[in-house]
Amino acid sequence: MEALVSDFDRVSALELVMLCLIMMVGSYAAYTDIRFREISNLSILFLLLTGLTGQIVLWMWSETTPWQVGLVTGAGLILSYILFIYGFWAAGDAKLFWAVLVALPSTICPIFPSFLSFNASIWALLSNAMVLNFVATLLFMLGQKQLFHQRDHRTLRLKSVLWSGLHIAGLSGWMIWISVSFLNHSITLSEATISTLICYVLMERFVKQPKYLFLTIPGVLLALYASLVHQTGALSGAAWGISWGIQTVYLFFYSYFSSALVQKIAFDSLQIGMMPTVGIYANGGEEICRAGQPLDAAGLRRLHTSVKQGGLACKEQGLQVETPMPFAPFIVLGTGMTLLMRGSLLRLFEALLSF
């Protein structure tokens, strides 16, 4: 009995130390991200090394396995890098997310064996941060006094809505068919919905629209096949309808109020973290700033140098940019939410759907 109490005490003490480190470093990173739009590499390295050390100690105490430590480290790095490359967040946010994920005690937030579940730490932390960021952005936009006086005059085209519905139908079919045919995982409605939306966003980044049909049509056929063989018709229909509805609301919201997020900024007033809506190229064709990629310090220096030397291909005196909220605070808040719920906020979404 004394040995069990001793084991409990030391594991609990290590968990507390790791969580305190996450909150201390995360709070500092959130402050610098808000104040300066920068996150210190030294603080990220400190959290990463101390978190990895804590995971190794838990392994030595037989509280976790090498496979889990390797999976959380490798999967976190890959996911962070992919989302950075395709403009989801800046480099500092990506590194902070990876470090926090590694430092989360695997005894509290496991990533395995439920890796395919949104309650696994990697997906729970990401989805919680995204949901909190979305809610904060929505409240910010609705709180703008001039918002309803500066609406865009662009209309939401029916063609865009119908195409998105078709593509989402194909992607939801792929998600459900893969889960029931290969992964032997009973996918839930929230998992099917969110994974479909994530894949749709990635497809928007990766693939040109005419090529969607090579994935959409087989996906629809696979959805019909899974409905007949695995009785997933209700799940497919619900996941498709909810995902399409969310995307339609987003399209309407963005087309109607995008002027609240996008504005033209003079080149000498640009700041780190601002996200160009169009690419900027040098006279020789070299890409200086990528559309949808947050500006970092190096990119901003290249842009200022090109402007001074008159080396830009465009003749504009400014750049259309989107100024997103700093994401580091939402990673920290998402960490707290992950610990509080022992998983993802999507549990509430799923419970609401079940009700």
Mean pLDDT of the chain: 79
Rounded-to-integer distance, Cα 157 and Cα 5, Å: 64
The highest-confidence range among 51-55, 77-81, 283-287, 312-316, by mean pLDDT, is 51-55
Query: Comparing C-alpha atoms, which of 47, 51, 39, 28 is closest to residue 94?
Result: 39
Q: What is the CA radius of gyration of the chain?
A: 22
Q: 290 and 1 in contact (C-beta within 8 Å)? A: no
Residue matched to tokens 């119908």? 162
What is the tens place of the pLDDT at every residue in 15-58? Answer: 999 999 999 999 999 999 888 888 999 999 999 999 999 999 99
CB 171 within 8 A of CB 187: no
- In angstroms, the first-to-last Cα distance of the chain is 43
Spatial distance between the Cα atoms of 15 and 107, rounded to a whole number of angstroms? 8
Tell me the per-residue pLDDT of 118-161, one tens digit each, with 9 for 90 and over. Answer: 778 888 898 889 889 888 877 776 666 545 444 444 556 777 78
Q: Confidence band (pLDDT; 50, 70, 90) for 5? A: very low
Ranges 50-64, 201-215, 262-276: which has the least confidence: 201-215
Q: Give the list of residues 6+ apart from residue 150 with CB closer than 8 angstroms, or none.
A: 259, 260
Domain residue extents for the chain: 2-139+339-354, 262-322
- Answer whether 190's CB lies under 8 Å from 131's CB: no
Could you give the 3-state DSSP secondary structure of residue 290?
coil
More confident residue, 291 or 168: 168
pTM: 0.74
More confident residue, 111 or 57: 57
Binning pLDDT at 50, 70 and 90, where does residue 210 land?
low
Query: Of 236, 138, 154, 161, nearest to 195 (Cα)?
Result: 236
pLDDT, position 85: 77
Which tokens belong to 227?
Answer: 């409905």
